[in-house]
A and B are shown apart, each in its own frame.
Chain A
Amino acid sequence: MSAEPVAAPTSNWRRYFGWNTDHKVIGVQYMVTTFLFFLLGGLLAVLIRTELARPGQDLVDGTQFNRLFTNHGSLMIFLWIIPVLAGFGNYLIPLMIGAKDMAFPRLNALSYWLIPPAGILMIVSFFVGAADTGWTAYVPLSISAPDGQTLWALSIVLLGVSSILGGINFIATVVTMRAEGLTFGRLPLFVWGMLATALLMVVATPVLSAGLVLVAMDRIAGTLFFSVGVGGDPILWQNLFWFYSHPAVYIMVLPAMGIVSEILPVFARKPIFGYKAIAASSMAIAILGMLVWAHHMFASGMDPRLRIPYMITSMIIAVPTGVKIFSWLGTIWDGKLRFTTPMLFALGFISMFLIGGITGIFLASIPVDLHVTDTYFVVAHLHFVLFGGSVSAVYAGLYYWFPKITGRMYDERLGKAHFWMNFIGTNLAYLPMFLVGLLGMPRRVADYAPEFTSLNFLASIGAFILAISTVPFLYNAIVSWATGPKAEANPWRARTLEWQTTSPPPAHNFPVPPHVTGGPYDYGEQAPSTSLAPAPAAGK
């Protein structure tokens, strides 16, 4: 009501540790909290890869191994990638659309504050017999699993509520809070990606919650949903689980694609190629993504008449995905490329996501899937999509918006060292997994036949490089945040709205409500002050 006090953003670090309704504070809370879970999930991965570096069981026993990969997957998916991307959405959406905050600031804070208790539940579950069923928690195994499985289910339900509330907030914000002149046709592509993601969060997540309710009822109240002998049906869980968990892949990758779509035109100094196609393909992926879940169940004894339709819908997703890839290539084609750290990570995203995406088409093909399902081929595919893809994009975004968020520049040399370690580590860790998978090595087993030794050893080396690669990143982030050179408002000469205010932005983002008159990627067309590409879009 009265004049809002403008906070001194860099000095007042205490606000990050309490209830705060500023979307920028909440965004940072999301990112920092989830990064801690990322480190924890990474630690579990290092233990897994240490066990698998050589055949034989030398570090953990079978049950411990099951707990390791179950919680590794659950942490990485539910407490890292999904919420860290929601953190980007929180920080960026109001800035990018010229609003002073989200549509529901208090709900926004609630969405964040559901995450720490959910994480604590999952960590506590380690001490009461951790979940050991894989992140998929297939029944009836997850009904008879130790007590930690109940805490696990509760944790995922909490994270689901957080995700649903976040999704509602994103959609309401984008629809009702856009600045004057910011039509849907001028919306930054990250915002389009978040809009598609939010749709999935709102529509798909509750179905997983319903499934988890049934599992929890079976475990706590003794209901019979998944008791096979008396009419219960385990396939029901798989349907409910994958109805969410396949779209969840797009929840984990559509915002990442949005981040890449922001970064490429800035560092190619060219307009984005195919703006409308990229925006529309995000929505198409979201909608198609809800119609393909049973391709995870080709080997589960589903009705064979349903297999072919699910195979076809799954493969169709390659079309909008391909539209994006070619649009990105069209964007950098003939551009004046600046290989900064965010640009390197964005290019890394494209190359590695491409491998993950194409092997996804292999897996959608029923005859191939029946042979490689539950082998390391699937593990490799998933990690190329989510680590080579999503995590690369998260790093790209963290570097790209670091000056905006902290008001200081990161160290470019450390950033590049981080990129190369990450890029080499990712390929070294996951490429051999395709091969051992094709050779028949099953996933989720603590031991393997001696002929798989050398490839597994390579994968473990890659995993250790990935673990070490977080050191330069953390050092860079912490030291640069504290003592890095001050960043200007727009160090990259970008055109989206978040760069048109100070770094970091003031309490309500913009001194006056912005008025938008053009698209966000018109590089070289009406910005003579910036360094331009020599010829606009000669490749067309």
Chain B
Amino acid sequence: MTQDAATHSGTFAAGRALGLDHLKLGTWLFLASEVMFFGGLIAAFLHYKVNSPSPQAGLLSVPLVGANTFVLLTSSFTVVQGLAAIRRGKRGGLMAYLALTILLGAAFLAGQAYEFSSLYREGVTLQSSVFGSSFFTLTGFHGMHVFTGLVWASSTLLRAARGHYSAEDHGGVEVFGLYWHFVDIVWIVLFTIIYLV
């Protein structure tokens, strides 16, 4: 766990008592703030779901989005496989799995774009009801996070292609992985409260 902690510190950083290196700790803290950001948007969505129910909620397609959810979950698996590959020193494996992750993430976004456009055709828009407002805002912000993840994955892939990362030094991959899993977990929560409950 601490093998990639030594890269940054030199002689000054001595406080490793908690077994955390600062890059990973910083990422966890960033994700904590993201949880609170989504928490605010989710609170708004649930508040309106309970207090201003809309018939438009019935127009959501669970099978389509269920399939899309499966795609996104699979991409978490490929990130794990990529990290496992570089831990064994296999940069080629890492690159292949990162490419697969990007593909799956892009497929998820395409699915979301398809879902949004069909809803718009059926009259569910940002301005049609508080359901439409809160649905598109919440899922749209999640989609933007997926897109950010794709940019991040692409830059990680590019760095790997230039010969970065090894069995000893793969903190960058790990931190990207934390973010990507976070985006997935948020989606599981969103899928549950928007489509299933």
Interface on A for B, CB 8 Å cutoff?
97-100, 103-104, 107, 164, 167-169, 171-173, 175-180, 182, 202-207, 209-211, 213-214, 217, 221-225, 227, 230-233, 236, 239-240, 243, 513
Contacts and interface: CB of A to CB of B under 8 A. Distances in A.
Interface of B: 9-16, 18, 20-22, 25-26, 29-30, 32-34, 36-41, 43-44, 47-48, 51-52, 54, 126-127, 129-130, 132-134, 136-137, 141
B183 to A, nearest CB: 15
Given A206-B34, A209-B40, A221-B126, A236 B12 contact: no
Contact of B22 (A177, A204, A217): A177
Nearest to A179: B14
A225 B44 contact: yes
Contacts of B20: 175-176
10 contacts: A164-B30, A173-B22, A176-B25, A209-B40, A211-B40, A222-B127, A225-B44, A225-B48, A231-B130, A240-B40
A214 B22 contact: no
A68 to B, nearest CB: 30
Contact of B33 (A179, A202, A233): A202
A210 B37 contact: yes
B196 to A, nearest CB: 22
A173 B29 CA distance: 12
Given A207-B39, A210-B40, A236 B47 contact: yes
Contacts of B134: 225
Given A177-B12, A179-B15, A206-B37, 18 more contacts: A99-B12, A100-B12, A103-B22, A168-B26, A168-B30, A175-B15, A176-B20, A177-B22, A178-B14, A182-B14, A204-B36, A210-B37, A224-B127, A230-B130, A231-B48, A232-B130, A236-B43, A240-B40
A172 B40 contact: no
Nearest to B18: A175
A175 B136 CA distance: 39
A107 B26 CA distance: 11
Contacts of B40: 206-207, 209-211, 240, 243
**Residue of B126, B127, B133 most packed against chain A (CB within 10 A):** B133
Nearest to A98: B12
A274 to B, nearest CB: 25
Nearest to B131: A231
